[in-house]
Amino acid sequence: MDLFSQIEEPEREELKALRKELEDANYKYYVLNMPTLSDREFDEKMHRLQALEAQFPDMFDPKSPTQHVGSDLGKKGFEQVRHKYPMLSLANSYSREEIEDWVRKLPAGVEIVCELKFDGLSISLWYEHGQLVRALTRGDGQQGDDVIANIKTIPSIPWRIERTDIPESFELRGEVLLPWKRFEALNKEREEQEEPLFANPRNAASGTLKLQDPKEVARRGLTAYLYYMLGDNLPGKTHYERLQTAREWGFHISDAIKVCKNVDEVMAYIAYWDTERKNLPVATDGIVLKVNNLAQQEELGYTAKTPRWAIAYKFPAEKQLTLLKEITYQVGRTGVVTPVANLEPVQLSGTMVQRATLHNEDFIRSLDIRPGDRVWVEKGGEIIPKITGRAERENSDPCATLALPLRYSFPTLCPECGTPLVRVEGEAAWRCPNEAGCPPQIKGKIEHFVSRKAMNIDGLGEETIDLLYRQGLLHNIADIYDLKAEDIAAQERLGEKSAQNMLAGIEASKQVPWARVLFALGIRMVGETTAKKIARAYTSVDTLQWATAEQLCAVEDVGPLIAENIVRYFEDIRNLEILDRLRQAGLQMALSEEELSTFDSRLSTKLQGQSIVISGTFSRHSRDEYKAMIEANGGKNVGSVSKKTSFILAGENMGPEKRKKAETLGVKMMSEEEFLEMIK
Ligand code: IVH
């Protein structure tokens, strides 16, 4: 090895390491919806990798993350379809100077359209003869998942354009978003149900669009903005005209679009929206600049990943440095102990922040965070602010460093009840095992039990629960049904009227169906949807009580961890006593006759043992409805065609690959009419 390559060696290693790290970050961001790097860190690393690749052209690799967009493919249940035109990403910069440079380098007199950069996930909508026929995610840029059933639940996306002056086919691209309000409500709900929170509205929108249940998608309230029309024989010579046309045709186009004639107008637009965007109902993370004239766009052309006729300016993330005064610990309803940073108060996106999560022990250790440090706090999209980093310790005086605790250690005893904490193998969290005796766990379980989606008992809020707990009247959920009017009325702050309200709420809760009672019990990891599925498979507490972990795993959505939690719940004699008292109080511990009969009448065995592939688009029912019908008739919906496929439920525009495979294997195809006739 010559001297030069020895000098270069560390940089070549860095290049390889960056490729790996960015590939990994793309996967976690796009597929798992769990980002590990901030956008800024990601972009900085990407820029560094680009610079290194320019320095070492011999290391060019078409598979490098600089050469392709991150891929969100990998979810089951959606048909993958090739894009007519690849879906590219945008070159971006955090520097206003770079943006100015970019504008200045364009040929003189070029008009620039400025738009908001919406922070959701991109979608490609295909219209044929005025009808929405496909809705593809970006996927890997070359092919995407067809999520049309979910897209059709978005009110701002038209299913049909009733006009005669539109081209035979065209494509509109845009961004699917979950508005801030909806995002916050969704996360609040998930917090109550102890489901993992979405880090920001983008992740929530992406997770939502990949659900297999359009009803749930509809409930969450997605919206969309469209910003790019493609196709042959489209009207207009400029990007701006095309968007105006799209608006006339009924598409949801942002009003914030402006044609700018020079760099000053562009910079003024950026300055205006930098603050004004905070009043928008949806998340934006920058401004997109596009050359207006389509012929000029063509001239400028494309790189492998991005158009040369557009660039994005990205707003800096909202974060602040502040003093970490103290670390305290909060115990949740399932006993998880979360470290909380108590901060010198700081302003962050319009609110004062003084507490932020430090996540868990590993996080604190990995950043070597100690009280007295200056730490970065970020709100991003989350409700709960989080600590994301630590500033370098400035003072090199060894005595000053010694004033900090030498090494961080997580408490060994529960801060609330003194019980030794346990850490489950493979989990990051420490947990207090004293379920029945640890105050926040006791109160948290009762709060969960009475919450709106569980037993929905009005008049029994957090403060009242705390009061009744301290008075020794409430120790577990069964105690609720032993509360007496005079006990309640005797409490200061609670009078006759509160007592009446509360008792009416308690009485009404006795009609709450079994699935919700099961959810209300607060078994770890058994959320609302899982509880529903279990309640259908195990139609009463008596059958559920004897189910083994293996049997439980056969229920949809139930994995070994959930199964284990359920089995463990029923092994605890204290829980069995509580269940017994709930039953005696008159709660619904089984599906009602009515639920059973509607449930049964829907079941048939017409498709028992059959594996059925659904492909194409349908007019009578949605894809998901067909899936539900197959399952309700005892069949199995599978994703790909094989020898074992019984038949294909084939709609319009069935994927050519599937069709070919079906023909080669001789698998029968059935139209939706034939299918409906068969299961009638
Ligand atoms: S134009 C070929 N316009 O940003 C150019 N993209 O980082 C196509 N985005 O994948 C994109 N707002 O998901 C365009 N007004 C806007 C946008 C926008 C958000 C997203 C889009 C794209 C990503 C690139």
Percent of the chain residues topping a pLDDT of 70: 93
pLDDT score, position 194: 67
pLDDT exceeds cutoff 50 at 1? no
Percent of the chain residues topping a pLDDT of 90: 57
User: Which atom of ligand 1 is nearest to 285's Cα?
Assistant: 19
Residues in CB range of 565: below 8 A, 6 or more apart: 523, 524, 525, 526
DSSP β-bridge partners for residue 93: 313
Q: CA 366 to CA 359: how far, in whole Å?
A: 12
Q: CA nearest 14: which of 4, 22, 25?
A: 22
Alpha carbon of 473 to those of 81, 416, 464, 484: distances in Å? Answer: 61, 20, 11, 10
- Asked whether 457 and 558 are in contact (CB, 8 A), the reply is no
Torsion of CA 636, 642, 644, 645, to 10 degrees: 50
Q: Could you tell which of 29, 87, 117 is best to mutate to test the pocket of ligand 1, judged by most ligand atoms within 8 Å of the CB?
A: 117
Q: Which CATH superfamily is domain 3-67 in?
A: Helix hairpin bin (1.10.287.610)
DSSP β-bridge partners for residue 330: 338
Q: Name the DSSP class of 255.
A: T
Residue, of 199 and 205, whose pLDDT is higher: 205
For 297, the token pair is 């766009």
Ordered DSSP codes for 155-183: TTS-SB---SSS-SEEEEEEEEE--HHHH
- The model's pLDDT over 110-123, given as tens digits with 9 standing for 90+, comes to 999 999 999 999 99
3-state DSSP assignment of residue 328: strand
Evaluate the CA torsion angle 377, 379, 383, 386 in order and state its sign: negative
**CB burial class (10 A; 0-12, 13-18, 19+) of residue 513?**
middle
The vertex-226 CA angle with 222 and 229, nearest 5°, equals 145
Q: Specify which of 168-172, 216-220, 671-675 reaches the highest per-range mean pLDDT.
A: 168-172
pLDDT (mean) for 74-78: 69
Alpha carbon of 95 to those of 112, 279, 312: distances in Å? Answer: 18, 23, 10
Mean pLDDT, the chain, whole residue set: 88
Alpha helices in 316-474 (DSSP H): 361-367, 398-402, 439-450, 462-470
For 449, the token pair is 């039990």
Ordered DSSP codes for 512-564: S-HHHHHHHTT-TT--HHHHHHHHHHS-BHHHHHT--HHHHHTSTT--HHHHH
- The model's pLDDT over 364-381, given as tens digits with 9 standing for 90+, comes to 988 889 999 999 998 765
- Asked whether 397 and 418 are in contact (CB, 8 A), the reply is no
Q: Specify which of 73-77, 357-361, 633-637 reaches the highest per-range mean pLDDT.
A: 357-361
Q: CA nearest 194: which of 535, 444, 411?
A: 444
Residues with CB under 6 A from ligand 1: 88-90, 115, 117-118, 122, 175, 227-228, 288, 307, 310, 312
- The model's pLDDT over 45-68, given as tens digits with 9 standing for 90+, comes to 999 999 999 999 898 888 889 988
Q: CA 45 to CA 50: how far, in whole Å?
A: 9
- The model's pLDDT over 273-330, given as tens digits with 9 standing for 90+, comes to 998 998 899 999 999 999 999 999 999 999 888 999 999 999 876 788 899 999 999 9
Instruction: Tell me the pLDDT band of 398, cut-offs 50, 70 and 90.
Output: low
pLDDT exceeds cutoff 50 at 2? no
Ligand 1 centre from 173 Cα, in Å? 9
pLDDT exceeds cutoff 80 at 338? yes
Residue, of 427 and 303, whose pLDDT is higher: 303
Alpha carbon of 430 to those of 335, 412, 422, 525, 628: distances in Å? Answer: 8, 9, 6, 16, 40
pLDDT (mean) for 458-464: 89
Which of these is catalytic: 28, 45, 117, 290? 117
Ordered DSSP codes for 379-405: -TT-SS-EEEEEPPP----HHHHHTS-
pLDDT exceeds cutoff 80 at 680? no
pLDDT score, position 39: 80
The structure tokens 């010694």 sit at: 402
pLDDT score, position 593: 83
Ligand 1 centre from 279 Cα, in Å? 21
pLDDT score, position 442: 96
Q: CA nearest 178: which of 225, 134, 215?
A: 225
In words, the CATH class of domain 439-586 is mainly alpha
Nearest C-alpha to atom 10 of ligand 1 is from which residue? 89
Q: Which CATH superfamily is domain 80-314 in?
A: DNA ligase/mRNA capping enzyme (3.30.470.30)
Q: CA nearest 33: which of 107, 121, 109?
A: 121
Alpha helices in 27-55 (DSSP H): 39-55
Domain extents for the chain?
3-67, 80-314, 318-403, 439-586, 603-679
Ligand 1 centre from 349 Cα, in Å? 24
pLDDT score, position 380: 60
Ligand 1 centre from 118 Cα, in Å? 7
The vertex-499 CA angle with 494 and 503, nearest 5°, equals 145
In words, the CATH class of domain 318-403 is mainly beta
User: Which atom of ligand 1 is nearest to 116's Cα?
Assistant: 15
pLDDT exceeds cutoff 90 at 476? yes
pLDDT score, position 225: 98
Q: Name the DSSP class of 81.
A: E
pTM value is 0.53
pLDDT (mean) for 127-138: 95
Task: Assign a CATH topology to domain 603-679.
Answer: Rossmann fold (3.40.50)
Q: CA 333 to CA 522: how far, in whole Å?
A: 9
pLDDT exceeds cutoff 70 at 525? yes
pLDDT (mean) for 171-177: 98
- Asked whether 450 and 474 are in contact (CB, 8 A), the reply is no
User: Which atom of ligand 1 is nearest to 115's Cα?
Assistant: 15
pLDDT score, position 413: 97
Q: CA 407 to CA 368: how far, in whole Å?
A: 8
- Whether 117 sits among the annotated catalytic residues: the reply is yes
Q: CA nearest 87: which of 244, 305, 328, 393?
A: 305
pLDDT score, position 350: 59
Instruction: Tell me the pLDDT band of 404, cut-offs 50, 70 and 90.
Output: low
